[in-house]
């Protein structure tokens, strides 16, 4: 494989030739292509963070954002390594992680997702009348899936409902890079998809399990991050997000017990004990917590 260096252009790191500065002046890139460790890296433009493994003996992609974004990634991959994508993995079914699947038609040998994610994606596509725009997984698993591709071992786990009822955790074992999908929103209010079986309580437990299971050298890829924060991090970021979800449940439980109505609770502008979570989107957390607690 002809290796290419990763160069900085403004706030974006993209893989280009030696003429990168001139090319960026003519047609500036809108995306980030960043190497992390041992041929594993990330791509970001619009949607959930994409992970990738590019090596002579195999190519793996995790999540696809949207069709245009996936085409940009495929162009970058082809600059480094020709040939098909050996495996495309969807961390879960949401459109900002799977709408680009269609760009891999005839390119990806296989698409893998948790069995619930596959069901959710198909159900959502039928509901939205866009089945023709989808490329669904041809491989699914229930609890765990593992395979070697080139010199990398890919280990995938499902630990139960959290962000949805079909969230995969993908570990590149030799690189020690873990793609969390939307199991981590780094200092950003999360989307909690109760319609797809989400569980805040179990989500907290999963984040705690992940902190125990992976070692301190593990580098984590997050689905989303608030502006000013990274989409990669360490176990401290997992702990911080678990603390946010815990504070959310405790706050909403207390508010309900004090007799406040849903409408009153939804006027909340900050979760006590979670000062780093600010900005838009708090109502999504509050509504999901209300639904979970009231149903119990």
106 burial class (0-12, 13-18, 19+ CB within 10 angstroms)? exposed
Report yes or no on 168 lying in a domain: yes
The rounded distance, in Å, linking the Cα atoms of 234 and 242 is: 13
Residue 136: predicted pLDDT = 98
The pLDDT score that the predictor gives to residue 30 is 87
Between CA 292 and CA 201 the distance in angstroms is 9
- The number of distinct structural domains making up the chain is 1
pLDDT of residue 2: 34
Asked if residue 280 belongs to a domain, the reply is no
Q: How far apart are CA 34 and CA 37, in angstroms?
A: 10
Give all strands (DSSP E) within 40-176, no chain letters. 40-44, 50-55, 58-62, 87-89, 111-114, 139-141, 144-149, 152-157, 169-172
| Nearest-10 crossing angle of helices 200-213, 282-295 | 110
Let me know if residue 2 belongs to a domain: no
Q: Model-level pTM?
A: 0.90
d(CA 191, CA 171): 23
Q: Residue 249 domain-assigned? A: no
pLDDT in tens, the chain (296 residues): 333 333 333 333 444 344 344 444 444 568 999 999 999 999 999 999 999 999 999 999 999 999 999 999 999 999 999 899 999 999 999 999 999 999 999 999 999 999 999 999 999 999 999 999 999 999 999 999 999 999 999 999 999 999 999 999 999 999 999 999 999 999 999 999 999 999 999 999 999 999 999 999 999 999 999 999 999 999 999 999 999 999 999 999 999 999 999 999 999 999 999 999 999 999 999 999 999 999 75
| Domain ranges, residue 49 | 31-236
32 with 41: CB under 8 angstroms?
no
CATH number of the domain enclosing 163: 3.60.15.10
Helix then strand count (H, E) for the chain reads 8, 17
| Integer angstrom CA distances of residue 280 from 78, 90, 190 | 38, 26, 10
Report the pLDDT value the prediction gives residue 295, as an integer from 0 to 100: 79
Q: Examine residue 254 and state whether it is found in any structural domain, yes or no.
A: no
Q: Give the pLDDT score at 16.
A: 37
Quote the pLDDT of residue 252.
98
Task: Please give the structure tokens belonging to residue 17.
Answer: 């030739």
Residue 31's nearest CA partner among 3, 71, 63 is 71
Is 220 among the domain residues? yes
Contact residues for 78 (Cβ-Cβ < 8 A; gap 6+): none
User: Does a structural domain hold residue 146?
Assistant: yes
The answer to the question of residue 13 being in a domain is: no
């Amino acid at each position: 494989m002809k290796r290419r260096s990763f160069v900085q252009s403004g706030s974006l790191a993209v893989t280009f030739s030696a003429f990168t500065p001139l090319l960026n002046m003519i047609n500036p890139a809108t995306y980030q292509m960043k190497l992390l460790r041992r041929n594993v890296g990330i791509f970001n433009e619009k949607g959930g963070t994409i992970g990738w493994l590019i090596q002579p003996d195999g190519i793996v992609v995790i999540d696809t954002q949207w069709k245009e974004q996936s085409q940009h990634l495929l162009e970058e991959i082809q600059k480094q390594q020709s040939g098909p994508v050996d495996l495309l993995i969807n961390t879960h079914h949401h459109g900002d992680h799977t709408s680009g699947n269609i760009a891999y038609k005839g390119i990806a040998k296989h698409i893998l997702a948790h069995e619930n994610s596959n069901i959710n994606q198909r159900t959502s596509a039928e509901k939205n009348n866009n089945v023709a725009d989808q490329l669904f997984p041809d491989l699914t698993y229930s609890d765990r899936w593992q395979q070697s591709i080139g010199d990398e071992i890919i280990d995938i786990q499902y630990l139960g409902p959290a962000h949805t009822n079909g969230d995969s955790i993908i570990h590149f074992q030799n690189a020690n890079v873990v793609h969390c999908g939307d199991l981590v929103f780094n200092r950003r209010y999360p989307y909690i998809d109760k319609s797809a079986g989400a569980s805040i309580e179990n989500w907290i437990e999963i984040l705690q399990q992940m902190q125990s299971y992976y070692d301190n050298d593990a580098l984590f890829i997050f689905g989303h991050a608030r502006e000013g924060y990274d989409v990669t991090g360490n176990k401290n970021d997992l702990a911080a997000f678990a603390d946010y979800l815990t504070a959310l449940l405790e706050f909403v439980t207390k508010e309900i017990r004090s007799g406040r109505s849903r409408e009153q609770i939804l006027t909340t502008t900050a979760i006590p004990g979670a000062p780093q979570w600010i900005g838009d989107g708090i109502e999504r957390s509050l509504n999901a917590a209300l639904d979970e607690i009231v149903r119990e």
